[in-house]
Structure 1
Amino acid sequence: MENIMNNEQICPVMGHEINDISTAPSSEYKGTTYYFCCENCKETFDSNPATYTGNGGAEGHHHHHH
């Protein structure tokens, strides 16, 4: 029984489970690799990773769509 974290990853932007991380977009932030359910989520994460990693979120979640 292997203890690798590859089997269940959650998209930090949408909260969706990622079934196959080998095809999922991924991004590294502060030494941790995050996987995303779609490329759009990766871009959202990359523009403001602190919002989705649980630290530095004291200002609340401000989503600006222009």
Structure 2
Amino acid sequence: MSEASKLFDQKASQGQVAPGASKESAVQQAGEMALKMYLKSQAQGGGSSAGGSGGAGDLLGFASKFLK
């Protein structure tokens, strides 16, 4: 999500942001998309839930990648 923030700032400095667009909205949408992609990968068997682990811990690990 930090990348979404940086990209928004970059585009805003170039005048390529629509009037009324907010940085907060862009970051929120990036987070929602990341979560959807994560959940889709879990539904397709891409997670580490085979041994009964995973779940919330995997989600927190995934989210931490975007919160730096």
Specify if TM > 0.5: no
TM-score by length of 1: 0.25
Larger Rg: 2
Structure richer in helix, relative to its length: 2
RCO higher in 1 or 2 (8 Å CA, sep ≥ 6)? 2
| Richer in strand (by share) | 1
Q: Normalising by the residue count of structure 2, what TM-score does the alignment of the two structures yield?
A: 0.25
